[in-house]
């Protein structure tokens, strides 16, 4: 009967039998390899779960261990189903249904295991990255607050220039140049009044220069310590605690620098300079002298408004500078940090996902091989699929079936006692 089969069919059967022998050999260790992958994933899942649980007690350890074991069993069972069933189905609908099921299972595996594996692989490095990023944010906020404070403190030159102009005018009035009448009368008192106000403002601005530099120097010292904590070896938990303490202290210094900025003070003082004027009583001895004093005071008040507008414009320019950002350190667990900075740890994520989803490659390999076996064998099933050993066993069984049954033994006569 085999001679009637075309040569192409016999070649296809031999090709199919060869692939089946390879699959039989691979099946001997596929389950063991799948178990090793599932166990490795479970170990890293356990380490990742430990980073999420704060209590180091026995129940916490038991809970993490139970979760990791459940993950390992789930991965092993899921991929065992896929390795056996997906390559075996033949219809397109069945294959599509199992492929969708496998995709859903892969998402579930990533959700329950892969991100924890990534936390175990790169959790400490991710927390250090978060600390380094926070240091950069604090440094930018500190430098911006210091720059704004220095810009506000530099307004003291504008205040000194306006104060000097009033002092010069008061000297001119004392010599009789302004109102035409020498002496220290009403005009002189108005000028000295504004000069005194500006002198007090200038003294206040000069007094904040040293605190601004001290706060900035102290902030740089804290930044250096925080930067060292983000890279030094040792337990990450202890370092994050000290880092948090330094971050709180640095936030206070940044707030202090913002408060030391004298620009708002200059803006308010400029407004008061124009609006709060105490006019003295005209003390001229004649009506002509009093009229000259009144005219001069009006001109002085106009000048005061101009100088106040100049100071207001300068102060508003400083106030319009970009304000320091709200740098706040939020401690993160290793798992949260790995997710937040996933782009910095692509290799760790790739390894964590690959250890869970690598069996998918085996599923596709077996699907291709099974398709090749079906293609080589065709729709017919020929007898020459049997190996030589199987053929000999079949012939031996047939020979046994052809042998006649042995004759039955004749019944023995009953011998009675005494006969």
Q: Within this chain, do residues 318 and 209 fall inside the same structural domain, yes or no?
A: yes
- Which one, of 251, 254, 264, lies nearest residue 152 by Cα? 264
Determine contact, residues 373/19, Cβ cutoff 8 Å: yes
Q: Within this chain, do residues 105 and 144 fall inside the same structural domain, yes or no?
A: no
What confidence score (pLDDT) does residue 416 get? 53
Q: Within this chain, do residues 99 and 225 fall inside the same structural domain, yes or no?
A: no
Q: Flag residues of the chain having pLDDT under 50.
A: 1-5, 278, 382-383, 414-415, 419
401 occurs within a structural domain:
no
What's the half-sphere exposure (Cβ side, CA atoms, 13 Å) at 284? 19
Determine contact, residues 123/332, Cβ cutoff 8 Å: no
- Which one, of 324, 314, 196, 310, lies nearest residue 259 by Cα? 324
Q: Within this chain, do residues 359 and 303 fall inside the same structural domain, yes or no?
A: no
Q: Where are the alpha helices (DSSP H) in 261-333?
A: 263-275, 287-319
pLDDT digit string (tens) for 121-150?
888 888 888 998 999 999 999 999 999 888
pLDDT digit string (tens) for 311-366?
788 888 888 888 888 878 888 888 788 888 888 888 888 888 888 998 999 999 98
What confidence score (pLDDT) does residue 301 get? 66
CATH for 227? 1.20.1260
Ramachandran angles phi, psi of 55, nearest 5°: -75, 120
Q: Within this chain, do residues 173 and 89 fall inside the same structural domain, yes or no?
A: no
Range of the domain at 112: 2-123+344-391
Total number of domains in the chain = 2
- Rounded Cα distance between 186 and 178, Å, is 12
Q: Within this chain, do residues 150 and 289 fall inside the same structural domain, yes or no?
A: yes
What confidence score (pLDDT) does residue 273 get? 66
Q: Considering 332, 364, 399, which residue would you say is the last residue of a domain?
A: 332
What confidence score (pLDDT) does residue 340 get? 85
406 occurs within a structural domain:
no
413 occurs within a structural domain:
no
412 occurs within a structural domain:
no
Q: Within this chain, do residues 228 and 153 fall inside the same structural domain, yes or no?
A: yes
314 occurs within a structural domain:
yes
Q: Within this chain, do residues 12 and 38 fall inside the same structural domain, yes or no?
A: yes
What confidence score (pLDDT) does residue 419 get? 46
Q: Considering 305, 332, 359, which residue would you say is the last residue of a domain?
A: 332
What confidence score (pLDDT) does residue 36 get? 92
Helix (H) or strand (E) holding 102: helix 92-109
Locate 301 and state its tokens: 């008040």
What confidence score (pLDDT) does residue 70 get? 92
Give the distance, in angstroms, between the CA of residue 43 and the centroid of all CA atoms in the same chain: 24
418 occurs within a structural domain:
no
220 occurs within a structural domain:
yes
Q: Within this chain, do residues 184 and 236 fall inside the same structural domain, yes or no?
A: yes
211 occurs within a structural domain:
yes
Q: Considering 263, 298, 332, which residue would you say is the last residue of a domain?
A: 332
Distances in whole angstroms, Cα of residue 175 to Cα of each of 23, 180, 184, 188: 115, 9, 9, 10
Q: Within this chain, do residues 45 and 81 fall inside the same structural domain, yes or no?
A: yes
Q: Within this chain, do residues 317 and 361 fall inside the same structural domain, yes or no?
A: no
- Rounded Cα distance between 172 and 180, Å, is 10
Three-state DSSP class for 302? helix
Q: Within this chain, do residues 54 and 140 fall inside the same structural domain, yes or no?
A: no
């Amino acid at each position: 009967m085999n001679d009637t089969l075309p040569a192409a069919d016999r070649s296809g059967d031999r090709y199919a039998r060869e692939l089946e022998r390879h699959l039989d050999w691979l099946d001997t260790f596929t389950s063991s390899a799948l178990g090793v992958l599932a166990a490795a994933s479970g170990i890293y899942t356990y380490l990742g779960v430990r980073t999420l649980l704060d209590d180091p007690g026995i129940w916490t350890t038991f809970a993490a261990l139970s979760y990791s074991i459940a993950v390992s069993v789930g991965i092993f069972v899921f991929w065992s189903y896929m390795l056996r069933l997906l390559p075996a189905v033949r219809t397109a609908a069945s294959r599509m249904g199992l492929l969708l099921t496998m995709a859903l299972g892969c998402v579930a595996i990533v959700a329950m295991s892969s991100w924890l594996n990534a936390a175990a692989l790169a959790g400490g490095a991710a927390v250090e990255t978060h600390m380094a990023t926070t240091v950069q944010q604090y440094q930018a906020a500190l430098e911006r607050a210091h720059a704004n404070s220095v810009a506000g403190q530099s307004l003291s030159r504008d205040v000194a220039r306006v104060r000097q102009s009033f002092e010069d005018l008061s000297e001119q009035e004392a010599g009789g140049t302004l109102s035409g009448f020498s002496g220290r009368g009403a005009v002189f008192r108005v000028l000295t009044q504004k000069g005194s106000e500006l002198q007090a403002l200038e003294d206040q601005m000069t007094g904040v220069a040293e605190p601004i530099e001290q706060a900035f120097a102290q902030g740089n010292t804290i930044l250096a310590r925080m930067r060292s904590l983000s890279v030094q070896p040792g337990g990450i938990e202890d370092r994050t605690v000290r880092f948090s303490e330094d971050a709180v202290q640095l936030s206070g210094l940044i707030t202090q620098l913002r408060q030391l900025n004298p620009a708002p003070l200059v803006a308010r003082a400029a407004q008061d300079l124009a609006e709060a004027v105490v006019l003295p009583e005209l003390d001229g001895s004649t009506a002509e002298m009093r009229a000259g004093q009144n005219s001069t005071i009006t001109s002085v008040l106009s000048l005061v408004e101009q100088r106040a507008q100049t100071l207001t414009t300068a102060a508003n320019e400083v106030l319009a500078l970009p304000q320091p950002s709200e740098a706040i350190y939020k401690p993160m667990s290793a798992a949260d940090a790995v997710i937040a900075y996933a782009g910095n740890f692509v290799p760790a994520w790739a390894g964590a996902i690959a250890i869970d989803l690598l069996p998918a490659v085996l599923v596709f390999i077996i699907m291709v091989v099974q398709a090749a076996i079906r293609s080589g064998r065709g729709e017919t099933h020929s007898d020459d699929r049997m190996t030589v050993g199987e053929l000999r066993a079949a012939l031996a069984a047939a020979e046994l079936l052809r042998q006649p049954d042995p004759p039955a033994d004749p019944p023995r006569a009953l011998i009675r006692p005494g006969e």
